[in-house]
Amino acid sequence: MKNIARNTLVALAAVLALSGAQAQVKERTLKFAFQNQTGHPQAQGAQKFADLVAQKSGNKITVKLFAGGALGGDLQTVSALQGGTVEVTVLNAGILGAQVKEFAVYDFPFLFNNAKEADAVTDGAFGKGLMAKLDDKGLHGLGYWDLGFRNLTNSKRPIAKADDIAGLKIRVIQSPIYIDLFNTLGANATPLPFPELYSALDQKAVDGQENPNTVILSSKFAEVQKYLTQTRHIYNPQALIISKKTWDGMSADEKKIISDAAAEATTFQREVSRGAADSALESLKKAGMTVTELPPAEIAKLREKVKPVIDKHTAAVGDATVKELMAEIAKARK
C-alpha cells in the first residue's frame, strides 16, 4: 500500500509539474505592425518571427502581422507599443531618437561602409547598450534587422552630381537629421509618414523620396518615379522592439520564446534583405527607372556638404556617444 501511495504521489507531482510548465506559456495574440509591404524582406522577417513564436510556444502565442502601415506610421506605432495596444514593431532605429536621443546617431550620413560593419556595431556592446535604454521608455529591444543603404529617387531629372539635388522637394522620414541633411543639400525636405508617401509622389506633392532599393521596388515607386540615383547616403539598422508593458507581463518561459525567435528571425531577415538588394536594382531597371551611379568625386562632395549636419547632431546626441560609435566602427574595419 505504501508503494502504491508513493507512486500515486509521484505521478500526481509529475502532472502538477507538467501543468505548471504549461501554465508558463499562456494563449495570447501579439500584433506586429510595420511599414513595408508583404513580400518585402522586412515582412519576410516578420513572418519568420511569427512562425518561430508559434512553433516554440506550441501554437499558444500567435503573432498577427499588419503590413504596409495598416496601423499607422512609425511614430504612431511606437506610441501604441508604449500604450500596449500594439505589441511588436520593427522600424528605422534612428526614429527612436525621439525616445532615446542616442539612437539618432544611426541616421548619421555615410556612417557605415557596408553591412558587416553595421552588424558588428549593433550586435556588440554599443548596440545592446542603446537597446537597454529603451526599457525606461515603455519599449524593450529584441534585436536589429537590415533595411539596406538608402538611395534617392525623383520624377524631375537624373541626378548625376551632388548639386543636382538642389531645388527638389524630397520626402524624408520624420527625423530631424533627415530634414537637416536634405535641406543642407539644397532640397526642400518634407517629412511624411510612410503610408502617405505613394500618394504624395503620385499627386506630385513631392518630387522624390529616399529609401533602399528593396523598399522602392516593393512599394511600387517605379510607377510614380522615373529617376533612381545610387547615393547610398545612409545605412538603416532596423530596431525590432516589443511593448515593455507586454514584456513585463510575460513569464520567463514566454520571454525566452520571444527572445529566441527574435534572434533566429534576425539572422534569417538579414540574409534575405541583403540577397534581395541587388536583384531589386535589376528589377527597377526593368520597370523603366533610369539608374545613375554617382562618381566617387561626387560622393566626396556629398560627404563634405553634410559635415555641418554631423557636427550639429553630434552636439545633440552627445560627443561621448559619437566617439564610442566611431571607435566601434574603426575596430570593425580592422
Closest by Cα among 73, 96, 330, 43 to 191? 73
Averaged pLDDT, 250-262: 98
What residues does 230 pair with on adjacent strands?
A: 293
Closest by Cα among 296, 312, 264 to 48? 264
Q: Is the predicted pLDDT of residue 9 greater than 80, yes or no?
A: no
Closest by Cα among 109, 106, 6, 90 to 44? 90
Mean pLDDT score of the chain: 93
Residues 37-95 pLDDT 10s: 999 999 999 999 999 999 999 999 999 999 999 999 999 999 999 999 999 999 999 99
59 contacts: CB under 8 Å, gap ≥ 6: none
Closest by Cα among 156, 157, 149 to 299? 149
Residues 285-323 pLDDT 10s: 999 999 999 999 999 999 999 999 999 999 999 999 999
Give the E-state strand segments of 169-305 in sequence order. Answer: 169-172, 188-191, 208-211, 227-230, 235-243, 290-293
> Which grid coordinates are listed for 297?
568625386
What is the set of domains in the chain, with CATH numbers?
28-333 (3.40.190.170)
- pLDDT score, position 6: 60
